[in-house]
Structure 1
Amino acid sequence: MLDQIPPEIISQIAFHLVISPSPSSSSSSSFSFHSSSPLHAPGSIPPQNLLLTSRSIHDAIAPANNPRLYGRLFRALFDTDAAERRMRLVPSSVVVTLPTAEAVGLPDGGADEVEDKLMTSPPSTSAETEAPSRYQSTPPKPTKRSRKKSRPEDQSQIRAQDFTNELRRRIEVLSRLKDMIARRDVSELRDDDLWTVYFMLIENDGKNAEYLIGPKAVAHLPTFLDLYHEQHLLTAAVEPGYPAETVGRSLAMWIAWLVGGAGPADETPEQREERMFVLRPYVFAAQQYQLYFAPWVLPDLPLQAPIEESDSSNPFIADLSPKSRLITVRHYGRDLEICPPFLAHAAILRFFYRRPGDDLDDEIMDGLLPSRPPTRPPTRPASPSSTQHFLLSNSAIHDRDYQRLRRCYDPSITKGLRPPAWRGSWDGCWEGTFSFFDFDAFREMLAGHARALYEGPYGEQAQVWRLKETYSGLPLSGPMVNAGFPPSEPPNTYANLASAAAEAETLAETIKQQIDAIEGYEIVPEDELDEMLSLEDGGEEAGLEMLLTGTGHSAWGKFILKGRVRGWDGMASLVKEYAPDSRGKWIYRGYVLAGDIFVGRWRDTYTPETFVGYEGTFILNRR
């Protein structure tokens, strides 16, 4: 009888068997998971009882034969808007820089072979416990040319088969994580598992998070993060030397930030102390952990010529060699070229973040927050008591970060993003803190004493910034330690920051000084700016560059801010100069991340760019 029902009706029956709650639904399959929650599929996927009824029904609803059914199921069970939106944002071609065939000794047409080697990378499937390796430096290219890497026409669309592949993948990953949590052993965790969870979180619009957070979760992330902290992060922290920077740890740190923020509200002092202990290396060892998609001293990207490798044997020489961070992961049934998010970004956020309006500690307001090493055996931190709702409530806030990971993985071959992507990112008022590590401990750390990281005191101080964006038609060419402005630029001795009116006047005068600093510099009028940003190249050919100008204050006094934004990846570089009583200059470099959080590192401006300077961190929230 069932054999005579049309296949489309069988598909509809199968769909509702999976989606609709049923007290009697219970079965097991390698392609299924179960939950008593009506938010999840109460039946197996595919529906085993129906699948085994007859050969004709099996042929009608088997995943290999009916991807449309499983595409519908995926849409019903998971969020899809973010993935579809981001696929459309991927450009139809990627500009790559390649050596000519003759330069590498290949016959005519051999450049395609070089291109394949540059543009592909094996999927990251290694276990977290395997020996990690740093990202490989981009090899020097003696002769270069540009080509466009064409993508298939359907790459901007997610097909039913792609949803089917992703459904299978997520079920397998969630089932595997659930088993690990039940065994309380995450030692065999794979990078691919973490990528799947990370993508689910930054694509969440309400459905995805319910599989990962809360009492109805299939794989309860807070419990998983407790286990990961104990079995990976804490273990690495008590071993000699610096903890290795791996793809797995980067993803786990970001998952912890997205889910738990800077720690649960009911965190005890001992638990907080241990969390800070684990995070210290990634926060304070600026010379050891990457924070920028390309060295901060490179003002314009992609590179037009090879750069000499830095001397890695000297701990006092800064590593300014551009590196490829490209890896390939499977996502929606296709190979995705991407780089992992930075471990240091998430570590700084988890170490220092406070929601806007939170009261700062009295010690911070006084400019000093002493920190001591743990005096008792570490204890596992409590699970986050609440989700960072502002980071998981709207997937759109992660779009720009995702595109940056997709387009900025190699400063030598990727085009990066364009100036329109950053418009409006900095305008307005910001408040937060900057931190400074004890100078003697910092010096000991550079000399090779890694334990100084865990024992040295640090300070944290509140600050407020007011920034204004201005567009110029001529790129800066001065030293990056001065944010690209000429070193001969006069100091801000005229600054008057005594009142709001005086600050506005000083801001206008500072913008004028920036524009007058280089002959031929000019501000792009608003009406022309809209036209330039709407061009296909986003104004790059015209040399369009965003300048940042501002004022601010901290316990050290009031200051002037001036800098620029690197259009390739949106890295802001700003010089902070206390005025009118000059108390030195500091260069701030960082990114605005999801949630309007400006995070990065500051550095002294007296140490030459090629050497490791004295550095600290900063974090600012938009008011």
Structure 2
Amino acid sequence: MSTLLSDWTPDWAFLSPSFPSPPPASTAATTGPPPTTSHPQSQSTPLAHMLTLPPEILTQITLDACLSLPTGPPSSARALCLTCRAFNRVLSHRNNAPLYAAVFSGQFDTAAPRRRARALAREGGEADLDLFRPERVVSELRHRWTSLTRMRLSTFSHTLPPTPELEEDLWTSLLLLLEDDGQNLLQLRAYAKLDEYMQLFWRECLLGPSMADPPQLPEETVARALGLWVLWHTSEERVLEHESPLTQHAALFALRPYAFAAHKYDIFAAPWYEHVLPLLPPTSTSPNPLLEEEAPPPAPRTQIKYFGSLLSIEPPPAGLAAIMLFSLRTSFRSAHPLSSPLAGTASAALAMPLAPVAQPMHHTAPPTAANTAHGQQLLSIVRPPFAHELAEGRGSEAWDGDWRRMTRCWDLVRGRGLEVGETDVGGVWEGKFTFFDFDSYRDMLTGSARSVYEGAFAEQPQVWRLTARRARIADSLRRQILAERRERGAGEGEMTGMASVVEDEWGWGEEELVLDGSGHSAWGEFNLVGSVRTWDGLVSLRKEYTPAARGTWLYRGYLVGDDYLVGRWRDTFTEKTQDGYEGIFALARRS
């Protein structure tokens, strides 16, 4: 029996390809007295009766036993496989994959992966229509329970696994959350102890590095990015409301670099100033063969196990999740003076500088009819939504857009990306923008990590009203993009061959989503104009106050859960390729 148990963890012993052979008989046993023959009636045992059952009945009994408990691995199948070789032959995963496919459907949500695979197939993508072939489902079942069991054991030992296993566990957790329709989250929390696991991750991977002496900006790793997203997806109001002031303060302290250090933690799938992507037009499927070896298609940054194959996927940016966590947590800090870096100081009412130059921050404009909601009362900051609120009534469908961006937008040279109209930002949005003390921001750009942790910040509410329409990409913009691509192809080694591929004829899509609208904040009223980059759904808007005394600002961000617009704003004085003065914003769609 030990040979069987040594191949897998105890919960996975039933997946061994064969039942162990009995040990060889010893010489002493052959020379001893003959074994006593049992009475024929003694063979009439429950096990003997079960051995006479048809395989279909035995399979159904095993399935019912595996699903009798709402959470945890199918250990009942393991117990039956260990009973005898006859059961093992009927119930092993190699001989009865449909059994474990049924177990998978009973333990995990399957609507999201089926829906997303069908959608990709309809759009002409490389969808694997055999995603739920029983053999592949068995592989995914084994993969999930291996990760969830490892997470559970980590909470008992209070030790995170090594980096490869940690990344695997966090990928598994995030995908389960993106596919959750009720069952996935139950397995994560009840069996894998996800909340305890993420507290351990928070202390070791996020809070610990922020306490370094001297202060440093933590390295952005795949594990930290995934962990921040899992933390946001599992945040709950009842927890944040009852956190101690010290816990709130420490959380905001650890999140500050990811939220405010825009030069260090990028949130964009591709440079925000690239208006059209991919860099090579989709029609250029046959580049110059002489240059093909010099400029091969880029390999996926990340490939993860997914239903028995490797899925090419782009890890979501740490900065975007940190902005959502930071914006959410600052909504609860007012009850805890310690957690508010501006509380009790003259900086409490400071506002953003009008231009990125060395000057003191200005006080918030007084309430007037121009800067209040409908001219009746001062705007109040609306609390950003929790992930479960975005998914309420929609389940996993709320995250289909995020899934498409992660799986389609990793190859900015030739990647297919999204389609026109997949990003819907029309409607009324309300939320806040957050800004950092300008002098501290300038010190941060010159290398002072301490200023990130100690600089003051403040928030202002705002409301947007946006309309979206399809429009033909202007000829002037097309000529400009073609000229820039040819110039880059001649000057950048990584883009060698672009000049020979990009011809004078336009090879990208004909239309784009154009945005225009208006809004108001505590500073007054403003106009909005911009567009949506089709390839990855990046929303770019120019915000100009009327009158223009409050300046012009550039907003860039993504939709999260279809109803949450999150990103960074920056000044319009700094060259686009240089580090400018930036802050963060978070807006929820008004229902």
Q: TM-score, normalised by structure 1?
A: 0.68
> What residue is the counterpart of 2:250 in the other structure?
274
Q: Is the 8 A contact 1:18 1:41 kept in 2?
A: no
Q: What amino acid is aligned across from residue 403 of structure 2 in structure 1? A: Y
Change (3 A) 1:161 1:184: same
SS at match of 1:434: strand
Alpha-carbon separation, structure 2, partners of 1:415 and 1:59: 46
> What residue is the counterpart of 1:309 in the other structure?
none
Q: Is the 8 A contact 2:269 2:536 kept in 1?
A: yes
Is the deviation greater in 11-20 or in 76-85?
11-20
1:335 to 310, 326, 329: 310
User: How does 1:33-432 map onto structure 2 within 5 Å?
Assistant: 38-40=69-71, 44-48=75-79, 50-91=80-121, 151=126, 154-155=128-129, 157-186=131-160, 188=162, 190-213=166-189, 217-239=190-212, 240-260=215-235, 264-304=240-280, 326-353=301-328, 368=350, 388-391=387-390, 393=392, 394-422=395-423, 425-432=424-431
Query: Following TM superposition, by how much is the alpha carbon of 1:279 offset from its aligned partner in structure 2, in angstroms?
Result: 0.3
CA deviation vs aligned residue, 1:333-377 (integer Å, no higher than 9, x gap): 21100011111111000001389999999989985499xxxxxxx
Query: Following TM superposition, by how much is the alpha carbon of 1:43 offset from its aligned partner in structure 2, in angstroms?
Result: 5.9
Is the deviation greater in 260-269 or in 272-281?
260-269
> What residue is the counterpart of 2:39 in the other structure?
none
State whether structure 2 residue 514 is matched by structure 1 residue 547. Answer: yes
SS at match of 1:225: helix
Change (3 A) 1:3 1:222: closer
Q: What amino acid is aligned across from residue 83 of structure 1 in structure 2? A: P
Alpha-carbon separation, structure 2, partners of 1:93 and 1:426: 22
Number of equivalenced pairs: 454
CA deviation vs aligned residue, 1:528-582 (integer Å, no higher than 9, x gap): xxxxxxxxxxx99661111111111111111000001100011011000001344
Change (3 A) 1:197 1:43: closer
Q: Is the 8 A contact 1:18 1:46 kept in 2?
A: yes
Q: What amino acid is aligned across from residue 230 of structure 1 in structure 2? A: R
State whether structure 2 residue 466 is matched by structure 1 residue 467. Answer: yes
1:580 to 544, 547, 560: 547
Query: Following TM superposition, by how much is the alpha carbon of 1:266 offset from its aligned partner in structure 2, in angstroms?
Result: 0.6
**Deviating runs (4+, > 3 A) in structure 1?**
1-4, 91-94, 153-157, 322-325, 354-370, 475-479, 539-542
CA deviation vs aligned residue, 1:154-183 (integer Å, no higher than 9, x gap): 446321122211111121111111111011
CA deviation vs aligned residue, 1:239-280 (integer Å, no higher than 9, x gap): 343101111111110110000158621112211110000000
State whether structure 2 residue 52 is matched by structure 1 residue 4. Answer: yes
SS at match of 2:528: strand
Q: Is the 8 A contact 1:18 1:47 kept in 2?
A: no
CA deviation vs aligned residue, 1:1-57 (integer Å, no higher than 9, x gap): 44432222221121122223xxxxxxxxxxxxxxxxx31258615242x22344332
Query: Following TM superposition, by how much is the alpha carbon of 1:402 offset from its aligned partner in structure 2, in angstroms?
Result: 0.4
Alpha-carbon separation, structure 1, partners of 2:264 and 2:333: 31
SS at match of 1:228: helix
Q: Is the 8 A contact 1:324 1:411 kept in 2?
A: no
Q: Is the 8 A contact 1:434 1:461 kept in 2?
A: yes
SS at match of 1:430: strand
> What residue is the counterpart of 1:512 in the other structure?
none
Q: Is the 8 A contact 1:473 1:542 kept in 2?
A: no
Alpha-carbon separation, structure 2, partners of 1:607 and 1:354: 30
SS at match of 1:163: helix
Query: Following TM superposition, by how much is the alpha carbon of 1:451 offset from its aligned partner in structure 2, in angstroms?
Result: 1.4
CA deviation vs aligned residue, 1:506-548 (integer Å, no higher than 9, x gap): xxxxxxxxxxxxxxxxxxxxxxxxxxxxxxxxx9966111111
Alpha-carbon separation, structure 2, partners of 1:355 and 1:8: 57
Q: What amino acid is aligned across from residue 448 of structure 2 in structure 1? A: H
Alpha-carbon separation, structure 1, partners of 2:314 and 2:73: 36
Q: Is the 8 A contact 1:463 1:552 kept in 2?
A: yes
Q: Is the 8 A contact 1:82 1:203 kept in 2?
A: yes
> What residue is the counterpart of 2:496 in the other structure?
none
Structure 2: any 5+ residue segments left out of the alignment?
A: 1-48, 282-296, 353-384, 479-505
Between the aligned residues of both structures, percent identity stands at: 38
Query: Following TM superposition, by how much is the alpha carbon of 1:238 offset from its aligned partner in structure 2, in angstroms?
Result: 2.2
Query: Following TM superposition, by how much is the alpha carbon of 1:444 offset from its aligned partner in structure 2, in angstroms?
Result: 0.9
Q: What amino acid is aligned across from residue 235 of structure 1 in structure 2? A: G
Q: Is the 8 A contact 2:74 2:103 kept in 1?
A: no
CA deviation vs aligned residue, 1:67-111 (integer Å, no higher than 9, x gap): 1000001111111111111122235898xxxxxxxxxxxxxxxxx
Q: Is the 8 A contact 1:366 1:555 kept in 2?
A: no
Q: What amino acid is aligned across from residue 51 of structure 1 in structure 2? A: C
Alpha-carbon separation, structure 2, partners of 1:431 and 1:562: 17
Q: Is the 8 A contact 1:467 1:550 kept in 2?
A: yes
Q: What amino acid is aligned across from residue 197 of structure 1 in structure 2? A: S
Change (3 A) 1:476 1:341: farther
> What residue is the counterpart of 2:362 in the other structure?
none
SS at match of 1:616: strand
Q: Is the 8 A contact 1:46 1:63 kept in 2?
A: no
SS at match of 1:468: strand
Alpha-carbon separation, structure 2, partners of 1:552 and 1:325: 40
Q: Is the 8 A contact 1:212 1:219 kept in 2?
A: yes
Change (3 A) 1:42 1:161: closer
User: How does 1:440-519 map onto structure 2 within 5 Å?
Assistant: 440-475=439-474
Q: Is the 8 A contact 2:401 2:562 kept in 1?
A: no
Query: Following TM superposition, by how much is the alpha carbon of 1:323 offset from its aligned partner in structure 2, in angstroms?
Result: 9.1
Alpha-carbon separation, structure 2, partners of 1:12 and 1:591: 47
> What residue is the counterpart of 2:584 in the other structure?
617
Change (3 A) 1:549 1:261: farther
Query: Following TM superposition, by how much is the alpha carbon of 1:475 offset from its aligned partner in structure 2, in angstroms?
Result: 4.2
Change (3 A) 1:387 1:414: closer
Alpha-carbon separation, structure 2, partners of 1:457 and 1:75: 50
